[in-house]
Amino acid sequence: MSPLLLRTSPKTHFHLMPTRREFIEYLCDQAQLGARLEYRKMFGEYALYLDGKVVAFVCDNQLFLKPTGEGRTFLGEVELAPPYPGARDYFLLSSELDEPDRLRTVLEITARVLKPLK
């Protein structure tokens, strides 16, 4: 399989369960980025900010990373799915949640290439 292969998630359901705060805290602990990684409630779910930039959304206890070419190169095979109805596809991370170094690295790569918020 190509390392840049994209898989589109067949998931078409949304908002099956609201994200638990414990899940957000788990993600932040796993990423080991300290105060650089923040989360804020947004539209009933959460946005993750790294160095002041929105890098991901957490919806239904799932992590949706903003897609970037650099992130795709680092991750290799990527599953795509929208974090909420009407949204464009994001990288749906799963195995990375249990790999702190990999999670931290992909979050940092994503923040590095995103433009600062105005």
Whether 107 maps to a domain, the answer reads yes
pLDDT at 114: 95
CB atoms within 10 A of CB 75: 21
CATH number, residue 109: 3.90.1150
Spatial separation of the C-alpha atoms in residues 38 and 86, rounded to whole Å: 25
Whether 58 maps to a domain, the answer reads yes
pLDDT in tens, 8-29: 444 444 445 688 999 999 999 9
- Domain of 25 in residue numbering reads as 6-113
Whether 40 maps to a domain, the answer reads yes
Whether 1 maps to a domain, the answer reads no
Q: Domain tally for the chain?
A: 1
pLDDT at 108: 98
Residue 110, CA distances (Å) to 21, 22, 28, 50, 69 in order: 23, 24, 16, 9, 9
pLDDT in tens, 70-101: 999 999 999 999 998 899 999 999 999 999 99
User: Under a CB-based contact definition with an 8 Å cutoff, are residues 40 and 46 in contact?
Assistant: yes
